[in-house]
């Protein structure tokens, strides 16, 4: 179901990144690196396409919230032999805390959205300063589930892995020799202590990918997917996420 020709995908993505950069008249890109599998894979693809001298990783911690992620971000950067002068580490905590101060009752979801948006503000400001394109890190599963912050982590100039389900990202990452520490850990957005994607979803990425595949690629209805033997509670949860995030794909309402 999710088998991919990893060599062909790598070559196609490498050509795509080069083509976009040529079109936009730049040879350099920057990318937010979280230490997760998506950013590690996107970073590796960018290095394959442009060379390590032309890729600029940006690590954007919120204080000491996700120290493991920072450690793994540095690990993948080092494994790719990216020059240390290309790497930037910017603590977003002072910026985020200034914003959230206006509402002492703000919940963790809203705070997480602000963190994602400030990270993107920093990335795009740097891209303006350095005349580089921003490489995104979103996969197809997250996009279909609406598991991203609108005007935040979904913003980019180039999206190398958005057409890959999470299951396929793991296959590609393994082929690209992403460090095993990143391959083996639980996916997390790192927006609050103890947060993991699958815990927040209430289902695994594997199940989500299968259900989304039948819904998106095979155009099966919810009832027909249930007939394949999936737990109704899981399917209902997947549908809840799809419905919840549907508004994020809408364009602005414009008076005509």
Q: Which pLDDT does position 33 carry in this prediction? A: 97
Q: What is the pLDDT, as a whole number, of residue 83?
A: 97
241 pLDDT exceeds 90? yes
Which parts of the chain are beta strand (E)? 29-32, 55-59, 88-89, 133-135
Q: Where are the domains of the chain?
A: 6-197
More confident residue, 66 or 59: 59
Residue 223: which pLDDT band, with cuts at 50, 70 and 90? very high
- How do residues 166-193 score in pLDDT, each as one tens digit? 999 999 999 999 999 999 988 877 777 7
What is the model's pLDDT at position 198?
87
Flag whether pLDDT at 251 surpasses 80: no
Residue 216: the pLDDT is 94
Tokens read off for 17 = 């990144």
pLDDT at residue 247, rounded to an integer: 83
Instruction: Provide the pLDDT for residue 156.
Output: 96
Mean per-residue pLDDT of the chain: 94
pLDDT at 196 over 90: no
Q: Is the pLDDT of residue 1 over 90?
A: no
Per-residue pLDDT at 220 exceeds 90:
yes
Q: How far apart, in whole angstroms, are the C-alpha atoms of residue 243 and residue 233?
A: 15
Q: Would the pLDDT of 252 be above 90? A: no
Least confident stretch, 2-11, 50-59, 182-191: 182-191
Report the b/e string of 200-239 with b at 16+ CB within 10 A: ebebebebbbbbbbbbeeeebebeebbeeebeeebbebbe
| pLDDT grade for 119, boundaries at 50, 70 and 90 | very high
pLDDT at position 246, please?
85
Own/partner long-range contacts of 204-209 (Cβ < 8 Å, ≥24 apart): 205/141, 205/166, 205/167, 206/167, 207/234, 207/238, 208/141, 208/145, 208/166, 208/238, 209/2, 209/141, 209/165, 209/166, 209/167
For the chain, give the number of residues: 256
- CATH code that applies to domain 6-197: 3.40.50.620
Which whole number is the average pLDDT over 203-231?
Answer: 95
pLDDT the model gives residue 42 = 98
Please report the pLDDT score of residue 248 as a whole number: 84
For 12-37, the pLDDT digits (tens) are: 999 999 999 999 999 999 999 999 99
Task: Summarize the confidence of residues 130-142 as an average pLDDT.
Answer: 96
Alpha-carbon dihedral 214, 216, 222, 227, rounded to 10 degrees: -10
Q: Is the pTM of this model over 0.85?
A: yes
């Amino acid at each position: 179901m999710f088998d991919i020709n990893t060599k062909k995908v790598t070559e196609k993505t490498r050509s795509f990144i080069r083509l976009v950069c040529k079109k936009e008249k730049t040879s350099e890109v920057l990318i937010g690196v979280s230490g997760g599998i998506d950013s590690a894979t996107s970073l590796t693809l960018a290095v394959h396409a442009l060379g390590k001298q032309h890729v600029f990783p940006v690590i954007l911690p919120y204080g000491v919230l996700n120290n493991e992620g920072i450690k793994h971000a540095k690990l993948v950067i080092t494994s790719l032999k990216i020059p240390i002068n290309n790497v930037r580490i910017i603590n977003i905590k002072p910026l985020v805390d200034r914003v959230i101060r206006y509402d002492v009752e703000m919940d963790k979801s809203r705070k997480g959205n602000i963190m994602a948006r400030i990270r993107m503000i920093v990335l795009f400001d740097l891209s303006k300063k350095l005349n580089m394109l921003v490489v995104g890190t979103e996969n197809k599963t997250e996009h279909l589930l609406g598991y991203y912050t609108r005007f935040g982590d979904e913003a980019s100039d180039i999206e190398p892995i958005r057409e890959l389900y999470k299951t396929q990202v793991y296959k590609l990452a393994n082929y690209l020799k992403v460090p095993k520490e990143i391959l083996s850990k639980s996916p997390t957005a790192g927006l609050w202590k103890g947060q993991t994607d699958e815990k927040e979803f209430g289902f695994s990425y594997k199940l989500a990918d299968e259900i989304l595949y039948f819904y998106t690629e095979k155009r099966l209805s919810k009832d027909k997917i249930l007939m394949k033997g999936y737990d109704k509670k899981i399917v209902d949860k997947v549908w809840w996420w799809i419905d919840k995030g549907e508004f994020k794909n809408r364009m602005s309402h414009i008076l005509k």
